[in-house]
Amino acid sequence: MRLDKLLAHTGYGTRKEVKQLITSGVVRINDEICKKIGQAVKIDSDVVTVMNQPVFYQEYYYYILNKPAGIISATEDNYHETVIDWLGPDFSYMELFPVGRLDIDTTGLLLLSNNGQLAHQLLSPKKKVSKRYEAEIEGIVTEEDIEAFSQGLDLEDFISQPAQLLVHSTDEESNRSWIEVEIWEGKFHQVKRMFEKVGKKVLTLKRKSMGPLELEEDLEEGMWRELTEEERNALVPFGYE
């Protein structure tokens, strides 16, 4: 890999800033000052330092964001703040994108990565990756609804696969239910449309898990963290290397 590309991909600035860094003589390869912008670097064996600090190259990055409401699952948008804007400019060199979509008002687990292969696998309908959501519902969710979800619902343009619906609690007075639903596909507005089909409305929706990844309670809304080694290993069947 070219030296300027390596430094740009490890967060040392834009290509222009990186060029200035190299020509200023603070970059060394195997202890020798290197001022050649396009110098070839062997990622696996050369030791590159900037101001005596070693440079660690990573091809792929993986983050879990607890997405807040009000931002969209996209990389850029003319009208709305995106999940990538939310992370801020320090992350731009990673070229992350959201793996899948959550609606603007949906909160919870969103995987951000720059690994396109992995995203493709996790989102492939063939892989039947589980997604678990918690929701507050307007209406009282009944045994019939649970049965209808388990059979699959005719949503006009497609019939949903069987989904597992669990009622945590209901309140007749306020006409509310608190539920958990697990689906193994991910069509646009799927959970909302499934509830609409049984005459109810999703008031809040939060994703709790996606495949082997779980959102833990202590990751506050709006916060993110890198995947743990255990989580990365759990993604091996989906192309994590």
Question: Contact residues for ligand URA (CB under 6 A)?
Answer: 102-103, 106, 189-192, 205
Residue 238 beta carbon to ligand URA: minimum distance, rounded to whole angstroms: 19
Catalytic (active site) residue 90: no
What region does 54 belong to: left with phi over 0, alpha with psi -120 to 50, or beta? beta
Instruction: Give the residue with the Cβ less far from ligand URA, 85 or 196.
Output: 196
Nearer to ligand URA, 43 or 104 (CB): 104
Residue 64 beta carbon to ligand URA: minimum distance, rounded to whole angstroms: 16
Q: Considering the complex, state which of residue 41 and residue 72 has its C-beta at the smaller distance from ligand URA.
A: 72
Looking at 85, 103, 105, 157, which residue is catalytic? Answer: 103
CB of 167 to ligand URA, least distance (A): 18
Find the DSSP H helices in the chain: 3-8, 15-23, 83-87, 116-123, 143-151, 190-197, 229-234
Residue type, 190: Q
Beta strand residue intervals within the chain, DSSP E? 27-29, 32-33, 48-50, 53-54, 62-67, 97-98, 107-113, 131-138, 164-171, 176-183, 201-210, 213-214, 224-226
Q: How far is the CB of 229 from ligand URA (least distance, A)?
A: 28
Furthest C-alpha separation in the chain = 75
- Whether 104 and 118 have beta carbons less than 8 Å apart is answered as no
Q: Which residues contact 172 (CB under 8 A, 6 or more apart)?
A: 140
Between 106 and 115, CB nearer to ligand URA:
106
- Give me the residue label for tokens 């743990």: 228
| Catalytic residue list | 103
